[in-house]
Structures are given as C-alpha cells and as structure tokens.
C-alpha cells in the first residue's frame, strides 16, 4: 500500500477551473477554513487532551507526564517528546509500522511551533536540578485524514497542553514523592499554525485531502499572540520567489488571529 493517491485529470482540471473563479469544489472561498470544533479533556486518563475537528479532518491529542532524567546539556529543564501516528483507520493511504516521513515531519513541525514560541517554560518542569524533571509526551492520533493535518495538529496540541495538569512533587533532599494534588500546566504563549497551499497559480487555505493531492507547494507559519513568526516550514517541490513570501505571511497572520479566537473560546478557563 502506498500513500500516493492519484487525482484524475478531469478532477484536477475541474478544481483549477473553479479556482480561476476563486471558487472551490465544496463551495468555500479560497482562503476560507472549514468549520472548526475543539473539545478538551477528551481522554480521561491523560494529563491533558483535545479532539480537533477541522471539517472532516479529526485528530486526538493527548499529554502524558512521567518523571525522568534531564538531558546533559539542559540539566535544569524539562523535556518534551512529540509523536504522530498516521493510522490506516484514518486513511487507506497510511500504513502500519514505524513512523513514516510524513508522520515525522508532522511531529517536528508541531514540536517546533511549541518550542520556538516558548509556549511552556521548561525550567518549571524541573523537580531536582540535574537529576529529575518532568518528561512531557505529546502524541496525536489521526482519526480521519481529509487534509490540512499541520494546522489541526498545532490547534489540538495547544488545546491539550492548556488543559493539562501536573502532579505536585514533594522533595526531601534527594528523595521525592509524587502527590495526589495536581496543578495546571502553565502556558506562556498560544502559537497558531497557518498553512498556505498552491494549486497552479492559485493560493488556498485549509485544503481537503483531494485538494492537497494536486498542490505543488505548501508553506506553514506559526505565529504567537504578539504577531511574531515563531516557526516556518516549506513542503513539496514547488518554489517561491522572495517577493511572493511576504504577502503569504501577512495573509496567514490575519487568519491566525481568527483561529486563535476559536482556540481560546474552547479552553474552559480562558
């Protein structure tokens, strides 16, 4: 089985003809996102979780915390590990087995938005300097793939982190005891990912699975609430001229503000 899905020339030409009129197969405008729903605390046994539905794309994100040893080069800092599972139940074009290149890229792009936005103060995840820190596992599972996994994954990750709780730890000398009481994970920033795709000469946002298959370029920017670009990632073989990038940035920034409002509305105490 391969993850390559072939779009017929008739379908592709139809999409291109509609885009020339600034229309899409599902009736949306070229920059319009599908309906977004975010449900937090979706997994009872996770420290934090969220279910994101972006049109028919559905992703579950879970946060798990364990105590462990810090990295030698950051002895007083907690650790985050991000992973994505592209399960065959989400798409017949995903395979079982070790993470694919697509899964690794999805995890890394999401991880970068979190790290580079300083969403979390990792120093506050340190329990015993140089010896014991919280290791935060952030895992997302694709339930249904209908396009634009990058933006959905970041939305779900931030929602899950913003509702996560950490057990208190009592430290006596070099000994520690994990207590029943939990405190919220402190979130410093709320990055939002916006991915722009290109089909032919037309740019569009939030493509469906079929639209994604005929794009030749994608450009993902993550923005914090202060309008700073915190990360960027280009995908596919298409190229951009330098003067084509800034209009995409400005457009993506405006869209990020609307997505952040939807995210904040979904968080119980925000």
- CATH number of the domain at 126, please: 3.30.230.70
Residue 1 counted as domain residue: no
In this structure, is residue 3 part of a structural domain? no
Residue 2 lies in a domain: no
Assess if residue 35 is contained within a domain. yes
Quote the radius of gyration of the chain (alpha carbons, Å): 20
- Which pLDDT score is estimated for 206? 97
Within a domain: 4: no
Say what the pLDDT of residue 102 is: 86
Q: Is residue 199 part of a domain?
A: yes
- Residue 3: predicted pLDDT: 44
218 forms beta bridges with 197, 235
Q: What is the pLDDT along the chain (270 residues), one digit of tens a residue?
A: 344 556 677 777 888 888 888 889 999 999 999 999 999 999 988 999 999 999 999 999 999 999 999 999 999 999 999 999 887 777 766 766 666 788 899 999 999 999 999 999 999 999 999 999 999 999 999 999 999 999 999 999 999 999 999 999 999 988 899 999 999 999 999 999 999 999 888 999 999 998 988 889 999 999 999 999 999 999 998 999 999 999 999 999 999 999 999 999 999 875
Which of 266, 122, 265 lies closest to 187, judged by CA?
122
Please tell me the total number of residues recorded for the chain in this structure.
270
Residue 29's domain comprises 9-266
Which residues, other chains included, contact 187 with Cβ-Cβ below 8 Å and sequence gap of 6+?
119, 120, 158, 161, 162
Q: What is the domain count for the chain? A: 1
- Which DSSP helix (H) or strand (E) runs through 261? helix 242-266
pLDDT at 5: 54
């Amino acid at each position: 089985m391969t993850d390559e899905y072939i779009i017929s020339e008739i379908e592709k030409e139809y999409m291109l003809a509609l885009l020339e009129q600034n229309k899409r197969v599902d009736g949306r405008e070229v920059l319009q996102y599908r309906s977004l729903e975010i449900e937090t605390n979706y997994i009872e046994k996770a420290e934090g979780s969220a279910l994101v539905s972006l049109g028919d794309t559905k992703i579950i994100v879970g946060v798990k915390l364990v105590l462990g040893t810090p990295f030698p080069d950051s002895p007083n800092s907690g650790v985050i590990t991000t992973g994505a599972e592209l399960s065959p139940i989400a798409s017949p074009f995903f395979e079982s087995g070790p993470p694919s290149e697509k899964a690794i890229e999805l995890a890394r792009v999401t991880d970068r938005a979190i790290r580079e936005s300083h969403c979390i103060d990792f120093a506050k995840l340190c329990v015993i300097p140089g010896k014991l820190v919280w290791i935060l596992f952030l895992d997302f599972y694709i339930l249904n793939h209908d396009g634009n996994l990058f933006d959905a994954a970041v939305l779900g990750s931030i929602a899950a982190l913003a509702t996560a709780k950490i057990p208190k730890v009592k430290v006596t000398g070099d000994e520690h005891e994990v207590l029943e009481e939990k405190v919220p994970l402190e979130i410093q920033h709320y990055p939002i990912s916006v991915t722009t795709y290109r089909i032919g000469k037309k740019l569009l946002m939030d493509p469906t699975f079929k639209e994604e298959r005929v794009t030749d370029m994608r450009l993902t920017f993550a923005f914090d609430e202060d309008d700073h670009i915190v990360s960027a990632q280009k995908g596919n073989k298409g190229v951009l001229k330098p003067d084509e990038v800034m209009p995409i940035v400005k457009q993506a920034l405006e869209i990020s503000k609307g997505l952040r409002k939807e995210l904040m509305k979904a968080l119980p105490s925000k």
